[in-house]
């Protein structure tokens, strides 16, 4: 398998979810599309993971050097990347759902989604700050 091509494919697969979250946040099928793409990527992740299960040294997770050695192959890096793609997308979708529940304007959420897309946890932290400010301002 050409892991470079697989990398391009998984990167393209997440784009519809992000486009919908950015530009069509109230689209009625948004959650279904995001979860379907997450499921597809989850299956791809499981395939990569379980096709190399014999090569995984679970003891390696306990030390940085072991973890670095584990991610020395293209397949391992791609597997880790798919992991990031799925979780960042799901966190972005959660941020969007939660912001709608708390009636936070979408233009405040766009930067959060951008950060979720590019730097996962930073988007979550930014959203948490925005939500905290919004909830605090409602109490005052």
The pTM (predicted TM-score) of the whole model is 0.89
CA angle 84, 102, 34 (to 5 degrees): 35
pLDDT of residue 9: 97
Measure Cα distances from 134 to 105, 120, 123, 130, 138 in Å: 10, 21, 16, 6, 6
Burial of 1 (0-12, 13-18, 19+ CB in 10 A): exposed
DSSP state of 59: G
Give the 3-state secondary structure of residue 58: helix
Residue 140 above 60 pLDDT? no
Residue 76 above 80 pLDDT? yes
User: Between helices 74-101 and 30-50, what is the axis angle to 10°?
Assistant: 160
Q: Can you say whether the dihedral through the CA atoms of 64, 69, 43, 29 is positive or negative? A: positive
The residues, any chain, with a CB within 8 Å of residue 18's CB and separated by 6 or more, are 89, 92, 113, 117
pLDDT of residue 116: 97
Is 111 within 8 Å of 99 (Cβ atoms)? no
Range with the poorest average pLDDT among 33-37, 54-58, 112-116: 54-58
């Amino acid at each position: 398998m050409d892991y470079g091509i697989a990398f391009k494919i998984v990167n393209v697969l997440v784009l519809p979810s992000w486009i919908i979250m950015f530009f069509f946040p109230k689209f009625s099928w948004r959650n279904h599309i995001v979860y379907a793409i997450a499921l597809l990527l989850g299956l791809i992740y499981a395939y990569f993971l379980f096709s190399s299960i014999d090569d995984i040294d679970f003891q390696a997770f306990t030390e940085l050097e072991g973890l670095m050695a584990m991610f020395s192959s293209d397949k391992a890096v791609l597997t880790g990347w798919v992991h990031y793609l799925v979780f960042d997308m799901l966190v972005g979708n959660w941020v969007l759902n939660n912001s709608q529940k708390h009636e936070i304007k979408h233009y405040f959420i766009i930067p959060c989604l951008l950060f979720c897309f590019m730097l996962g946890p930073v988007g979550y932290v930014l959203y948490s700050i925005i939500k905290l400010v919004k909830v605090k301002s409602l109490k005052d």
